[in-house]
């Protein structure tokens, strides 16, 4: 038995560890969905997979509690696949290497998947434990939340009967989230005719940036962390515009909702400008390290090394337009919420750059709790990349989850938390994207709230889950279930 399975509460940690051994990156969740269905049936619950690929479980009330309204426990089954540059982990085939580090559980060189494996594990524990007191329960485990909330978008009306939804996907114990930002994917594409490389008196170099903090592009966009795509753009802008380098390819970032930690570009340099080019890269590294000295504590790991001469390069006008557009595009916080100055209202994450083989794609995730500001930001990005000759589409848009100040569920949860722990929970909105607002489109009368254990650095290989917070979170969940309002 793994030591993680001995942590308290045992059923939660046992189920979480089991999930870490099933590969479940976004887009590859079939195995975990089948596992969840079989798990539910083995513990006396009904289970099915709906048309969108969501797993829905139902369990009857504890005897004597049939008069409570049905509660929905909601989490998502997929995880963000991020790893260190040195890792050989295959997220589609390999189990995670998880271990205990003091008061934290983390994974070796990869994301942990506590976002939202811990929410799934808690719901599984409620299904499994016959000693838990509750009214009728439905469990909704959605598909591919991290890449576009596809499961939530695909959930049809009439699939659920519950009146109260407990979203188990927040990341700070002691907080109850009652609202979140909406989002929109800005997808920019173009094709171009590559040039043949004439290698005479030329050398090739690979510029690599790796090991940045990265992070959750909603929760941590306000922390001022370096974006690998923006740093690379600054180097390329200086090198290409001065004629000392020619761009052949550029790849950076791999998830729309993760601040890009790594990137690399291959450039061709005239031998006569080689020293000037190397000095520029070294100077850039020094500048970036000074700019981010108080944020990127491990420094800016930017290297440049000779590489094999590529056969193709990007035409001059195309490379300049693409680099200029990435330089000009907004990244980071655009505006804070006027009525809540500490809460980000609108932001963008310049998440993915892929330029190679005659094709270019740049993906940006825009977020805002105000639809008008989200549109303003997206239109600005459309204008920016359209001027670079790219075809720009706005995809996967969803509105934010608007807080309900009269929520009976939140009032009950707040009273319960105060009775349990002697202090009121923090009740607030967040800048991350939660599925509540999307689910609420087809279930407009459902009362919702989100909470969870404490996680740090989700969407990065430094992701960790605080062990003591899990017990507080789970005990709070059990008390909430006891206190779900009675049927009218």
Task: Give residue 10's pLDDT.
Answer: 97
**Percent over 90 (pLDDT), the chain:** 95
| Cβ–Cβ < 8 Å for 406, 445 | no
- Give the pLDDT mean for 151-155: 97
User: What radius of gyration, in Å, describes the C-alpha atoms of the chain?
Assistant: 24
> How many CB atoms sit inside 10 A of residue 30's CB?
12
Q: Which among 173, 117, 158, 147 is positioned nearest to 450, based on CA atoms? A: 173
In the predicted structure, residue 32 carries a pLDDT above the cut 90:
yes
Give 476-488 pLDDT, tens digit per residue.
999 999 999 999 8
Q: How far apart are CA 471 and CA 468, in angstroms?
A: 6
In the predicted structure, residue 298 carries a pLDDT above the cut 90:
no
Give 380-393 pLDDT, tens digit per residue.
999 999 999 999 99
- Give the pLDDT mean for 90-101: 98
Task: Give residue 44's pLDDT.
Answer: 95
| Cβ–Cβ < 8 Å for 367, 183 | yes
Active site residue 78: yes
138 phi/psi in degrees, rounded to 5: -120, 140
In the predicted structure, residue 95 carries a pLDDT above the cut 90:
yes
What confidence tier does 311 reach under pLDDT thresholds 50, 70, 90? very high
What confidence tier does 85 reach under pLDDT thresholds 50, 70, 90? confident
CA of residue 47 relative to chain centroid, distance: 27
Catalytic annotation, pick one of 69, 78, 146, 296: 78
| Cβ–Cβ < 8 Å for 190, 391 | yes
- Give the pLDDT mean for 420-435: 95
In the predicted structure, residue 1 carries a pLDDT above the cut 90:
no
- Give the pLDDT mean for 90-106: 98
Give 201-241 pLDDT, tens digit per residue.
999 999 999 999 999 999 999 999 999 999 999 999 999 99
In the predicted structure, residue 339 carries a pLDDT above the cut 90:
no
CA triple 209-214-219, angle to 5 deg: 160
pTM: 0.88
What confidence tier does 303 reach under pLDDT thresholds 50, 70, 90? very high
Give 262-289 pLDDT, tens digit per residue.
999 999 999 999 999 999 999 999 999 9
Domain boundaries, the chain: 3-181+400-482, 184-398
- What's the token pair of residue 275? 């020293």
- Give the pLDDT mean for 34-54: 97
Residue 315: burial class (beta carbons within 10 Å; 0-12, 13-18, 19+): middle
- What's the token pair of residue 319? 């490379």
- Angstrom CA distances, 425 to 9, 137, 288, stand at 21, 24, 39
Q: Which among 246, 161, 228 is positioned nearest to 443, based on CA atoms? A: 161
User: Percentage helix, strand, coil, to 5, in the chain?
Assistant: 30, 30, 40
| Cβ–Cβ < 8 Å for 139, 48 | no
Give 102-140 pLDDT, tens digit per residue.
999 999 999 999 999 999 999 999 999 999 999 999 999
Task: Give residue 30's pLDDT.
Answer: 97
Helices 408-421 and 467-482 cross at an angle (nearest 10°) of 120
The domain 3-181+400-482: what is its CATH number? 3.40.630.10
**Percent over 70 (pLDDT), the chain:** 100
Average pLDDT, the chain: 96
Task: Give residue 108's pLDDT.
Answer: 97
Give the 3-state secondary structure of residue 334: strand
How many alpha carbons fall within 13 Å on the CB side of residue 332?
11
> How many CB atoms sit inside 10 A of residue 340's CB?
12
* The CATH fold of domain 184-398: Alpha-Beta Plaits (3.30.70)
In the predicted structure, residue 405 carries a pLDDT above the cut 90:
no
Catalytic annotation, pick one of 116, 138, 145, 264: 145
Task: Give residue 340's pLDDT.
Answer: 87
């Amino acid at each position: 038995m793994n030591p993680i399975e001995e942590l308290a509460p045992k059923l939660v940690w046992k189920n979480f560890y089991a999930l870490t051994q099933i590969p479940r990156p976004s887009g590859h969740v079939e195995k975990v969905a089948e596992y969840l269905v079989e798990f539910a049936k083995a513990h006396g619950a009904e289970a099915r997979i709906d048309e969108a690929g969501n797993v829905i479980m139902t369990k009857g009330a504890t005897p004597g509690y049939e008069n409570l309204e049905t509660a929905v426990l909601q989490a998502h089954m997929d995880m963000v696949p991020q790893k260190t540059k040195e890792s050989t982990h295959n997220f589609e085939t390999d189990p995670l290497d998880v271990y205990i580090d003091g008061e934290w559980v983390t994974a070796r060189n990869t994301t942990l998947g506590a976002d939202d494996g811990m929410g799934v594990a808690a719901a599984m524990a409620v299904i499994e434990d016959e000693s838990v007191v509750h009214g009728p329960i439905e469990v909704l485990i959605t598909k591919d939340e991290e890449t576009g909330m596809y499961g939530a978008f695909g959930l049809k009306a009439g699939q659920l009967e519950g009146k109260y939804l407990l979203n188990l996907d927040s990341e700070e114990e002691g907080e109850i989230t009652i609202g979140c930002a909406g989002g929109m994917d800005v997808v920019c594409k173009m094709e171009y005719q590559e040039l043949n490389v004439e290698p005479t008196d030329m050398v090739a170099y690979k510029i690599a940036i790796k090991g940045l903090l990265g992070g959750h592009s909603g929760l941590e966009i306000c922390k001022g962390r370096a974006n690998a795509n923006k740093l690379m753009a600054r180097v390329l802008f200086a090198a290409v515009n001065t004629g000392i380098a020619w761009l052949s390819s550029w790849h950076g970032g791999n998830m729309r909702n993760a601040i890009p930690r790594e990137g690399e570009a291959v450039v061709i340099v005239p031998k006569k400008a080689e020293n000037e080019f190397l000095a520029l890269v070294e100077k850039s590294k020094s500048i970036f390290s000074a700019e981010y000295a108080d944020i990127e504590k491990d420094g800016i790991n930017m290297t440049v090394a000779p590489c094999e001469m590529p056969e193709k390069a990007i035409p001059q006008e195309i490379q300049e337009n693409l680099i200029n557009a990435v330089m000009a595009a907004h990244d980071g916080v655009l505006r804070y919420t006027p009525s809540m100055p500490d809460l980000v209202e609108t932001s963008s994450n310049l998440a993915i750059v892929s330029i190679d083989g005659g094709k270019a794609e740049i993906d940006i995730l825009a977020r805002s709790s105000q639809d008008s500001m989200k549109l303003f930001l997206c239109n600005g990005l459309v204008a920016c990349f359209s001027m670079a000759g790219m075809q720009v589409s706005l995809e996967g848009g969803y509105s934010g989850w608007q807080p309900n100040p009269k929520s009976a569920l939140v009032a009950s949860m707040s009273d319960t938390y105060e009775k349990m722990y002697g202090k009121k929970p923090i009740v607030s909105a967040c800048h991350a994207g939660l599925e509540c607002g999307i689910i609420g489109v087809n279930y407009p009368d459902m009362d919702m709230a989100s909470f969870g254990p404490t996680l740090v650095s989700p969407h990065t290989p430094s992701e960790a889950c605080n062990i003591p917070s899990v017990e507080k979170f789970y005990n709070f969940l059990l008390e909430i279930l006891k206190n779900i309002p009675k049927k009218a």
